[in-house]
């Protein structure tokens, strides 16, 4: 079964084709553009280019998997709206996956901090052990992440780890991944997987693979924002006459 994976939860617009079989999956092609202001312009051409490169047409798709965030409002909506509209037009199911989970799965064995850029000098983050989520997702300032992790690990905190107050998270995790981890690597103080900055399409599909195989009905793609939008309703106008 041919599956289309989409993610716009980070500055990258990603479109990937993955073949799901009865006992595994294989990546076919992945197209990605990193531009936080161009999700709406780049995603559709990337989908078309990925299909053309692999020699498929939209009607060959069996399902669509979309990263539901967390991520900034505008970019995230582009991917989810595209996935939902394509699924409806093609009559195929759509499935949502936390974008951080895809990075956590791709990071592989060990205890890993996944952090993506939430802007406002904050990160969206979660922790993983051998690809399984332990904590999160949450949004916080990089210097506060160590303190939040301390509360999550409790008595298992290794001796000598200094938290909170922006201390290193070394000892809580052995490495970090995601463009937020790269941007604030000096704050986190652990090695950063610089090759793993954006959610891979194959990892998104891997998480949803059982749903694809079982033909689970289409899911509502609910965005994971974690915080309120910047835009607010305007206040009542003040009268100019007194």
Do 156 and 123 fall within a single domain? yes
pLDDT for the residue numbered 227 = 77
Give the three-state DSSP class for 228: coil
Residue 235 placed within a domain:
no
Do 148 and 210 fall within a single domain? no
Residue 80 placed within a domain:
yes
pLDDT per residue as tens digits for the range 153-185: 443 434 433 344 445 676 789 999 999 999 998
For 127-131, 158-162, 210-214, 223-227, which range has the lowest pLDDT when averaged over its residues? 158-162
**Are 44 and 200 contacting, i.e. CB atoms less than 8 angstroms apart?**
no
Rounded CA-CA distance 81/62 in Å is 18
Do 90 and 108 fall within a single domain? no
What is the token pair recorded at 32?
A: 């990605």
Residue 84 placed within a domain:
yes
Check which CATH number belongs to the domain holding 6 and give it: 3.30.420.40
Residue 104 clears pLDDT 70, i.e. is over it: yes
Tell me the CB-side half-sphere exposure of residue 135, using CA atoms within 13 A: 22
Do 136 and 184 fall within a single domain? yes
Do 41 and 107 fall within a single domain? no
Do 20 and 77 fall within a single domain? yes
Residue 21 placed within a domain:
yes
CA 80, chain centre distance (Å): 12
Confidence of residue 11 (pLDDT cuts 50, 70, 90): very high
Q: Domain tally for the chain? A: 2
Do 7 and 92 fall within a single domain? yes
Residues 7-24: what's their mean pLDDT?
Answer: 97
Mean pLDDT, rounded, of the chain: 88
**Where in the sequence is the domain holding 181, given as residue range(s)?**
100-193
Do 54 and 121 fall within a single domain? no
Do 106 and 86 fall within a single domain? no
Do 152 and 206 fall within a single domain? no
**Are 25 and 36 contacting, i.e. CB atoms less than 8 angstroms apart?**
no
Residue 171 placed within a domain:
yes
Residue 236 placed within a domain:
no
**Beta bridge partners of residue 110, listed in sequence order:** none
Rounded CA-CA distance 67/77 in Å is 10
Confidence of residue 146 (pLDDT cuts 50, 70, 90): confident
Q: Which residues, including other chains, have CB under 8 Å from residue 137's CB and lie 6 or more apart?
A: 70, 98, 100, 124, 125, 126, 224, 226
Do 87 and 149 fall within a single domain? no
pLDDT for the residue numbered 162 = 39
Do 10 and 91 fall within a single domain? yes
Determine whether 19 is exposed, middle or buried from the number of CB atoms within 10 Å of its CB (0-12, 13-18, 19+): middle
Q: Is the peptide bond before 70 cis (omega within 30 degrees of 0)?
A: yes
Residue 227 placed within a domain:
no
Residue 230 placed within a domain:
no
Give the three-state DSSP class for 176: strand
Determine whether 164 is exposed, middle or buried from the number of CB atoms within 10 Å of its CB (0-12, 13-18, 19+): middle
Q: By C-alpha distance, which of 111, 113, 105, 132 is closest to 178?
A: 113
């Amino acid at each position: 079964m041919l599956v289309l994976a989409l993610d716009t939860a980070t500055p990258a617009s990603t479109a990937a084709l993955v073949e799901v079989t009865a006992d595994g999956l294989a990546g076919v092609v992945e197209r990605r553009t990193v531009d936080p202001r161009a999700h709406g312009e780049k995603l559709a051409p990337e989908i078309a280019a990925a299909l053309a490169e692999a020699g498929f047409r939209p009607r060959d798709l069996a399902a669509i998997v979309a990263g539901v965030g967390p991520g900034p409002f505008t970019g995230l909506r582009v991917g989810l709206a595209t996935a939902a509209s394509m699924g409806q037009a093609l009559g195929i199911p759509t499935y949502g996956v936390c974008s951080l989970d895809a990075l956590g799965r791709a990071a592989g064995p060990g205890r890993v901090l996944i952090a993506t850029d939430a802007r406002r000098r904050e990160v969206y983050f979660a922790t993983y052990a051998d690809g399984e989520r332990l904590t999160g997702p949450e949004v916080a300032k990089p210097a506060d992440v160590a303190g939040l992790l301390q509360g999550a690990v409790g008595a298992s905190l290794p001796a000598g780890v200094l938290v909170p107050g922006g201390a290193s998270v070394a000892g809580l995790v052995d490495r970090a991944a995601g463009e937020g981890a790269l941007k604030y690597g000096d704050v986190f103080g652990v090695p950063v997987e610089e090759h793993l900055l954006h959610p891979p399409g194959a990892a998104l599909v891997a998480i949803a693979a059982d749903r694809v195989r079982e033909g689970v009905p289409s899911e509502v793609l609910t965005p994971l924002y974690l915080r309120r939008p910047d835009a607010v309703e305007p206040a009542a106008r003040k009268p100019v006459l007194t």
